Amino acid sequence: MNQTFSFPRFRRVVQWELAFKGQSYLLTAVPVLAFLLLMMLPTIFIGASNSKLPGLHFAALLLPVLLGGSLYTNLAFSQYTSRDTGIAALMVPASRLEKVLSALLFNLLFEIPLLLLFLFLHSWTIDFVNSKLPPNSYQYEKISSDTLQAFIIMYVLFQGFLFLGSLYFVKASFVKASAVFIVAAALISQANLWFAEYLASNPYMMGASPFSGWRITFDGSHHYHHIDHSPLFQNLFYTLPLLFLLALWYITYVRLGEKEI
């Protein structure tokens, strides 16, 4: 098969992807979006403040956004999980690049709006509810920017890893790819923390995650010192997840070529 990229051929691949897996995409996307709304919107219907309700927003990050989005990503190359559909998919008259870009297009068209929808609903519902509460009552707080930044980085890398895993693993791809990612992320995070504690001369308590600054306390007062990277280095650190994501997409492209052989 000619491996050059062709827009007319890419359009046919997209149409084939939609016809073959459109129902699976829809049956996954609709419950995820519905579940997200059910967890985000109840806050605006409560007249009095309730400190437990914002916990729904944290849960929404982990369930409909991270887990639900991951289940959707796992469909990217589901046609290769069985012999019959796998052979049919490999015989589609299109280049590897067109096949990968088609799967990536459907993935990004859901994953990016899903994350943006959560960010919008979180900010809007908190502002709306706080505007209706008495001035001296408990005010809802938004999820901190540090937490959101760490989550977005994890979300991006996890989706990229599952995108590769949906093609790399034939059976139980979601479980296997998730397990590998969790183990790798835990080891990297722990190594980063040990290295940070060594440089900080073993403080009383410390928080340090990859791609972010440090939070250090040297006594039991829980008064933390925030040590952040310079803006230049912080921007450079933010490019690392993007480069890693591009590398995962490229490995997916190479892996598809191995399957075709």
At 11 the pLDDT is 93
At 220 the pLDDT is 67
121 lies in some domain: yes
212 lies in some domain: yes
The values of phi and psi at residue 208, to 5°, are -150, 115
At 51 the pLDDT is 66
Tokens matching residue 162: 């599952």
At 158 the pLDDT is 95
For the packed helices 96-132 and 231-260, what is the interaxial angle rounded to 10 degrees? 140
46 lies in some domain: yes
Q: Considering the chain, what percentage of its residues have pLDDT values greater than 90?
A: 43
At 254 the pLDDT is 93
Burial class of 114 by CB neighbour count within 10 A (0 to 12, 13 to 18, 19+):
buried
H helix or E strand, kind and range, residue 212: none
Range of the domain at 22: 7-260
pLDDT in tens, the chain (261 residues): 556 888 999 999 999 999 889 999 999 999 999 999 998 888 777 756 666 677 888 899 989 999 999 999 999 998 887 777 777 777 778 889 999 999 999 999 999 999 999 999 999 988 888 888 777 777 788 888 878 888 999 999 999 999 999 999 888 899 999 999 999 999 998 898 888 888 877 777 777 777 777 778 777 666 777 777 777 777 787 888 999 999 999 999 999 888 775
182 lies in some domain: yes
DSSP string of 61-85?
IIIIIIIIHHHHHTTTTGGGSSHHH
- In angstroms, rounded to a whole number, what is the distance separating the alpha carbons of residues 109 and 69? 11
29 lies in some domain: yes
- Rounded to 10 degrees, what is the CA torsion of 55, 58, 114, 234? 140
Query: What is the total count of domains within the chain?
Result: 1
1 lies in some domain: no
2 lies in some domain: no
Tell me how far CA of residue 225 lies from CA of 70, 216, 219, 228, in angstroms: 35, 5, 11, 10
